[in-house]
Amino acid sequence: MAKRRGRGEDSISFEHRGGPCRDPDRHNGCPGIWRGVISLGYSPDGARRIRRKVAGKTKTAVKDKLKALHADIDKGITPKAGYSAYTVRQAAQDWLQDGLAGRSAKTVKKNQNVLEPILNVIGNRKLRQLSAGDVRQALATMAAGYSSAVVSMGHLALKRAIRHAEANDLAGRNVAALVDTPKGRPGRRSRSLTLQQAIAVITTARTLPVMELRPGLKDVRRPASLMHAYIVLSLGVGLRTEEARALGWQHVDLDGDPGASPAVPPHVAVWRSVRAHGETKTERSRRTLALPQMAVAALRQWRDSQAEERRAAADDWQDTGLVFTTRLGAALDAANVRKMFKRVCTQAGIGDGWTPRELRTSFVSLMSQHGVGIEEIARLAGHATTRTTEIVYRRELRPVITTGAEIMDKVFGPTADLRA
């Protein structure tokens, strides 16, 4: 007689699917399938037993699958329904849908975009079978066609997706965390305007009307004062593009309070951005900055031009209270700003390969060139640390760094025998 299985042991059975059975004792060659069942106890309310099932063409294959399930349980993983067939792509989709709750649609889309090249290689791989070698191969494939920064973002997104699966008992270990990020193709390094280039851009923007992009419609001509004010403000105080586009007139004081003690100069309060919930990038990004006189004059002129556009729009005007708006008062789109800025740069004779965010890089570099300390520049730019200011933003504008030679000449003086 067949030995009866013990209480709590796994069950293995053959599911017959009709037709003659050549070997009823072993079921070899019979039309059917072997199934195994593992018991995981009862549901929290004790009303039902929790089981996980596996299937295979042979009894040995089913035993191997049951052993694998037990190995996962020993690691602290509770196999859920569909666990064995759960793929890397499913893990990524679940993380994008649930793991980024509260994040902006732009953030979710960015993570989806950097994950896609990786998923094209290993997306159909079962997550429980994913190896560090698989991840390494996918990242190497991505590195061949993308910059190092994008590869790094993709690797980070994959690690976070698998960590999300771990938290839901759908992954054994995060193999993506065991792999180093490879270097990709050289990316486009941000640049800084020289003082001469900055003057050329400002001068051109003062008189050059710009065109507002309207998808599917004819572009609209806008006053030159729009981009002139945008450029002067961004370059003059180092605003982020997301801060400039979210800036409201209620946070701009073009008069100040000269009679106060101490006197309050014209200033701008950087308290909002176009990020989710209107928050600035970091806590230190919330700052109040004095305005240079050229920015005060440019903003006054643009305020007058905006008032004329408001009167022309009449009932179609959207009262958003924003400083930089479309001709109907709505927030300016980032693509519109990029297009208008490129046109100004082209007309200024410095080429069209510049982006609005490089106005901020130029602010940092010009401050550094004129002797402002790195700590003060970081405070003005709203950086969390000075390392961001120095490594990411500051660009050396001088072709030759002369500080060392000048100091040593002062130290040793015009000593003839040392120069011989």
144-166 pLDDT, tens digit each: 999 888 999 999 999 999 999 88
Q: What is the pLDDT of residues 89-142, one digit of tens each?
A: 999 999 999 988 877 788 899 999 999 999 999 999 988 889 999 999 999 999
Residue 414 falls inside a structural domain? no
How far CA 392 is from CA of 160, 178, 191, 217, 361, in Å, comes to: 25, 27, 10, 38, 9
Residue 6's pLDDT is 47
Residues 225 and 365 in one domain: yes
Confidence band for 177, pLDDT divided at 50, 70 and 90: very high
Please tell me the total count of domains within the chain: 3
Buried b (16+ CB within 10 A) or exposed e, 132-159: eebbbebbebbbeebeeebbbbbbebbb
Residue 256's pLDDT is 87
Confidence band for 398, pLDDT divided at 50, 70 and 90: very low
Residues 255 and 380 in one domain: yes
Q: What is the pLDDT of residues 295-328, one digit of tens each?
A: 999 999 999 999 999 999 999 999 999 999 999 9
Residue 400's pLDDT is 44
Residue 120's pLDDT is 95
Residue 376's pLDDT is 81
Range of the domain at 321: 195-393
Task: Fill in the DSSP letter of residue 85.
Answer: G
3-state secondary structure 158-174: HHHHHHHHHHCCCCCCC
Confidence band for 282, pLDDT divided at 50, 70 and 90: low
Residue 43's pLDDT is 67
Residues 71 and 153 in one domain: no
**Residues assigned a catalytic role:** 240, 281, 360, 383, 393
Residue 95's pLDDT is 94
Q: Which has more pLDDT, 244 or 275?
A: 244
Residue 420's pLDDT is 45
Residue 403's pLDDT is 53
The amino acid at residue 400 is: V
Confidence band for 5, pLDDT divided at 50, 70 and 90: low
What is the torsional sign of CA 376, 380, 384, 385?
A: negative
Please state whether the predicted TM-score (pTM) of the whole model is above 0.85. Answer: no
Element (H, E) at 41: strand 32-42
Residues 157 and 67 in one domain: no
C-alpha to C-alpha distance for 376 and 389, rounded to whole angstroms: 10
Residue 403 falls inside a structural domain? no
Residue 411 falls inside a structural domain? no
Residues 147 and 280 in one domain: no
